[in-house]
């Protein structure tokens, strides 16, 4: 199997699922995303991404309980799989490797950006 590439939204969604303590479904993921990034997302985009990630094997899903708020419809709950965790780790490692390789002379630039 060739290495799967994760898009930005996919990575974010995967991180949100990983960060939550229990299994999550569409609405909390959407809220977390909006809170963390300050950007607007639609539910359909979140769902599409969740299903994609499941297809890639990074998430697993199960059917969860319905509430009255939802008009009696059940939820699809997602949880991180080992493959998903691995993928996140790889991304993280790649990133930090790249961070490490930024030469000393450019560090102020980074710092300055952080400040601003």
Partner 1 sequence: MKKQREHLSDHQSYPQEPPRWVDRLLEWFVAPHLLEYIQGDLYEHFQKRVVQIGLKRARREYIWSALHCLTPFFFRRRKTNSYYNQNSNPSFKDMLSNYLTIAFRNLLRHKGFTAINILGLAVGMASCLLIVLFVTHELSYDRYHAHSDRMYRMTLHGRMDEKKIKLAYTSEPAGEALLRDFPGIEAMTRIRNDGGLLVKNGKDVFKEEKVAFAEPNFFSFFSIRMVKGNPAKALIDPKTVVLTETTARKYFGMADPIGKTLTMGNLGLFQVTGVCEDIPSNTHFHYDMLGSFKSVNGGTKWLASGAHTYVVLREGYSIKQLEAQSEALVNKYVSTEIKEFFGLSFAEFLKKGNQFGFPFQRVTDIHLYSNLDDEIEANSDIKYVYIFSVIAFFILLLACVNFMNLSTAGSAGRSKEVGIRKVLGSVQTQLVGQFLTESVLVTFLALLLAFGLVILLLPNFNDLTGKVFTLSSIFNCRVLGGTIIGCLAIGLLAGSYPAFVLSSFKPITVLKGKVQAGFRSGWLRNTLVTGQFAISIGIIIATIVANQQLKFMQNKKVGFDKEQVLVLHETQVLGEKVNAFKNELAKLSPVVRVSLAGFLPAGISRKSVDGVQVKNGERIVTHRTKSYYIDEDYLPTLGMKIAQGRNFSKTFPTDNSAILINEAAAKAYGFKNPIGEQVSLTGDGSDGSKKKYTIVGVIKDFHFETMHQNIAPLIMFYGGDNAQLALRIKTDDIPTLLYNIEKLWKGQTDNPFVYSFLDERFNSMYQAEQRIGQLFGIFAGLAIFISCLGLFGLAAFATHQRTKEIGVRKVLGASISSIVSLLLANFLKLILISILIASPVAGYVMSQWLHDFAYRIDLSWWIFILAGMLAISIAVLTVSYQTIKAALVNPVKSLKTE
Residues that bind partner 1 (CB under 8 A): 25-27, 30, 42-45, 47-48, 51, 66-76
User: CA 40 from chain center: how many Å?
Assistant: 15
Which residues contact residue 91 at a Cβ distance below 8 angstroms, ignoring those fewer than 6 apart? 6, 11
Question: Taking the complex as a whole, how short is the minimal distance between the CB of residue 84 and partner 1, in angstroms?
Answer: 19
CA distance 47 to 34: 14
Question: Taking the complex as a whole, how short is the minimal distance between the CB of residue 30 and partner 1, in angstroms?
Answer: 7
Residue placing its CB nearer to partner 1 in the complex, 6 or 88: 6
Residue placing its CB nearer to partner 1 in the complex, 76 or 79: 76
Question: Taking the complex as a whole, how short is the minimal distance between the CB of residue 69 and partner 1, in angstroms?
Answer: 5
Which is nearest to 56 in space by CA: 102, 91, 87, 92? 87
């Amino acid at each position: 199997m060739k290495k799967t590439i994760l898009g930005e939204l996919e990575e974010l969604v995967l991180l949100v699922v990983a960060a939550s303590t229990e299994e999550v479904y569409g609405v909390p993921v959407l809220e977390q995303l909006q809170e963390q990034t300050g950007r607007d997302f639609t539910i359909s985009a979140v769902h599409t991404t969740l299903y994609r990630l499941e297809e890639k094997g990074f998430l697993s899903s199960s059917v969860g309980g319905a509430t009255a708020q939802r008009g009696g419809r059940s939820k699809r709950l997602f949880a991180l799989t080992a493959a998903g965790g691995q993928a996140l780790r790889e991304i993280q490692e790649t990133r930090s490797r790249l961070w490490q390789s930024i030469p000393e002379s450019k560090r102020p630039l980074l710092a300055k950006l952080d400040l601003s």
